[in-house]
Amino acid sequence: MKIALLAKTLLTPLVSCSNPIVVIEDGRILAAGSRDEVAVPQDARIEDFGDAVLAPGMIDVHLHGGGGSDIMEATPEALARVGRQLARHGVTSYLPTTVTAPWDATLSALDRLAQVIENPPQQLDGEPCAQPLSLHLEGPFISHRRLGVHPPQHVLEPSMERFDALWNAARGHVGWVTMAPEREGALPVIASATSRGVVVSMGHTDADLAAAQKGRAAGAAHVTHTFNAMRPLDHREPGILGLALGDPDLSAEIIADGVHVHPLMVSAFLRLKGPERAMLVTDAISATGMGDGTFRLGSFDVEVKGARCTADGKLAGSVLTLDHAVRNAMAYTGWDLQRSIRMASYNPARLLGLLPRKGVIEAGADADIVVLSESGEVRRTIVAGRL
């Protein structure tokens, strides 16, 4: 059945359109534009969202869990709970993100996660679930000096043999890898992963500028949770952070929860990178949407109180949702919804090579759409045409 979506505003997100119509059928967008340009098909059911904004469904590329479930559980039931939690906050696609763990446990989790990606849960208790696209491996090829809460005993030196083992365990469903470019053996792994279409992101790294530039030259295209778990900025040795802020073509993400990075620095980061190269992520854990308490992140416990998640006194992920990150970006910078939603939809889709199938609202794209208020509050989420 064709469905015609009506609203006050459409954000494609590169273009803003007033009084739009978006026609969807069988999980795809058939047409999108103003009511002067697009006719409502006679056989279409009309969904009128009044004064709302239609925008592309958001994509979270750095996500460890939610709704009480941890990604490393690697079961259809766990990912269904994660997917439902995400869809409630406007996310239609995501990268299940692993955390450094024992080698055998990691390989087992990747095998089971690959099975879920190949047959993902579509809904839970009648609610749509955000869909897993591919896997984000955060570790084990990270720096011992910038671990964060990753268990040091499970951090490994990068090698082609190890990367191939991870790739094969995931049956090729690896879309993103966070690693430290200064580690011995890292550069060949970066080059090989990039050649396979994997986004290599520099993170949990103590790289100086020269090492970061070598990682960039080998194929690294992104920086993981900028400012966190990386060498601090120095005006004479800018290091990885200097490259993240200074390279206008390098994509970089930030956790805009006001806890991981001060709002003033979030604003400075977004203004330096611009809405073209900045990306919003959550780094959310199983506690997201669950309130205070003790929750799991991989193989260890995390204490959650308010917006802070800690393990042994260190920050351990977040309970941030991506729609909240968008609203925070608007509040911290004074930017409008169009620029802010781009950093959570179009930009990740572009970096993952998913344009024009995801991250946009245009004919031929997947019908992944979030219905928002003008201030960025989620009213409805449509995943693959399912309202």
pLDDT in tens, 82-115: 999 999 999 999 999 999 999 999 999 999 999 9
Please tell me whether residue 102 adopts helix, strand or coil conformation.
coil
Angle, CA 87 vertex, CA 52 and CA 179 arms, to 5°: 120
Residue 144 token pair: 């011992």
Q: At what angle do helices 103-118 and 76-87 cross, to 10 degrees?
A: 70
Neighbours of 184 (CB within 10 A): 8
CATH of 1-57+359-387, one of 3.40.640.10, 3.30.70.330, 2.30.40.10, 1.20.120.1200: 2.30.40.10
CA gap 313, 168 in Å, rounded: 36
Residues contacting residue 30 through CB under 8 Å, at least 6 positions apart:
2, 23, 24, 363
Question: CA 308 to CA 331: how far, in whole Å?
Answer: 20
Q: Residues of CATH 2.30.40.10 domain(s) within the chain?
A: 1-57+359-387
State both tokens at 83: 């997917």
User: Would residue 283 show up in a list of annotated catalytic residues for this protein?
Assistant: yes
pLDDT at 317: 95
Tell whether domain 58-355 is in CATH 2.60.40.1120: no
The pLDDT value given to residue 23 = 98
Measure the CA–CA gap between 201 and 190, rounded to whole angstroms: 9
Indicate if the pLDDT at residue 28 is higher than 90.
yes
| pLDDT (average), residues 155-163 | 98
Structure confidence at residue 185 as a pLDDT band (50, 70, 90):
very high
Q: Mean per-residue pLDDT for 323-348?
A: 98
CA atoms of 385 and 387, how far apart (whole Å): 6
Which of 60, 283, 323, 366 is catalytic? The answer is 283
* Separation between Cα atoms, residue 380 and residue 361, nearest integer Å: 16
What mean pLDDT is predicted for residues 187-197? 98
Which of the 8 DSSP states describes residue 154?
Answer: G
Q: Percentage of residues in the chain with pLDDT exceeding 90?
A: 98
**DSSP 3-state of 88:** coil
Torsion of CA 60, 62, 66, 72, to 10 degrees: 130
pLDDT value, residue 149: 95
Phi, psi values for residue 115, rounded to 5°: -65, -40
The whole-angstrom separation of Cα 91 and Cα 345 is: 9
Name 38's bridge partners.
Answer: none
Mean pLDDT throughout 170-189?
A: 98
Residue 365 pLDDT? 98
Instruction: Assess whether pLDDT exceeds 90 at residue 349.
Output: yes
Is it the case that residue 299 has pLDDT exceeding 90? no
Helix, coil or strand: residue 172: coil
Question: Looking at residues 53-65, what average pLDDT do you find?
Answer: 98
**Contact 97/63 with Cβ under 8 angstroms?**
yes
Phi-psi region of 151 (alpha: psi -120 to 50; beta: other; left: phi over 0): beta
- Whether the model clears a pTM of 0.85, i.e. scores above it, the answer is yes
Mean pLDDT of the chain: 97
- Give ranges for CATH 3.20.20.140 in the chain: 58-355
Q: How far apart are CA 118 and CA 112, in angstroms?
A: 10
pLDDT of residue 263: 98
Q: Can you tell me whether residue 274 is helix, strand or coil?
A: helix
Band of the pLDDT at 387, cuts 50, 70, 90? confident
Residue 46 corresponds to which tokens in the numbers above?
């009309």
Question: String of b and e for 223-234 (b: at least 16 CB within 10 Å)?
Answer: bbbbbbbbbeee
For helices 322-333 and 263-277, give the axis angle rounded to 10 degrees: 100
